[in-house]
Amino acid sequence: MDEEERDRSTILEPTIAPEKVESPWGETLKVIGFSVFLALGIRTFVADSRYIPSGSMLPTLQINDRLIIDKISYKFSDPVRGDIVVFYPTAKLEQELKADGEKKFKEPFIKRVIGLPGDRIDVKHGLVYINGKVLSEKYLGEPAAYRWSSTEIVPDGIVPKDRYLVLGDNRNNSYDGHYWGFLPKDKIIGKAVVRFWPINRAGGIDPQPDYRY
């Protein structure tokens, strides 16, 4: 072996570290973790699912209907008349207590937006009047059997800025704004847009009501 060959024989070839093969369990955990992170992010910022626990929105929504709630639209626009909204209990509702001192209302409510900022609302003769004009409500099961006016909440009867009057479609069996007042916008979680259960009634909840007077 000559000198040149001896020099070459002492040069170490670069070594390539063997690829680390991750176990199937590790990959699965990563996928699950990412899925949970994504699901929580969507639920927190974009959409959520809710079920209907009572008959206050009959006949539009049935007990145990499952809904998708759009949580992002109201970041860029205001609720409009006819929207079905999910919201946290208002300050007045939070003050209502059970006999044992526990809060009576902890879970979100779902109702329909009827009165907008600047409106004056009256309920009489089974009809809703907005600024003196009758509101056509084809989604009701039966007309309201009570009389009410927004003057019961504020002296001039005008719904304040960033406040809404929300009522249940089941007017005579709904604990709604005509009992406890206006709903602040910052209490609104989002708008109900899709029913995904039961399967035989899955799809968009309802077209936007035609409120032409």
Between strands 121-124 and 183-184, the pairing is: unpaired
Residue type at 18 in one-letter notation: P
Among 166, 148, 46, 160, which residue's Cα sits nearest to residue 108?
166
Q: How far apart are CA 147 and CA 132, in angstroms?
A: 14
CB–CB of 187/90 below 8 Å? Answer: yes
The active-site residue, picked from 71, 111, 187, 191, is: 111
CB–CB of 183/165 below 8 Å? Answer: yes
Judge whether 75 counts as a catalytic residue: no
Reported as half-sphere exposure (CB side, CA atoms, 13 A), residue 117 has a value of 8
Judge whether 56 counts as a catalytic residue: yes
The active-site residue, picked from 23, 35, 54, 56, is: 56
Residues with a catalytic annotation lie at 56, 111
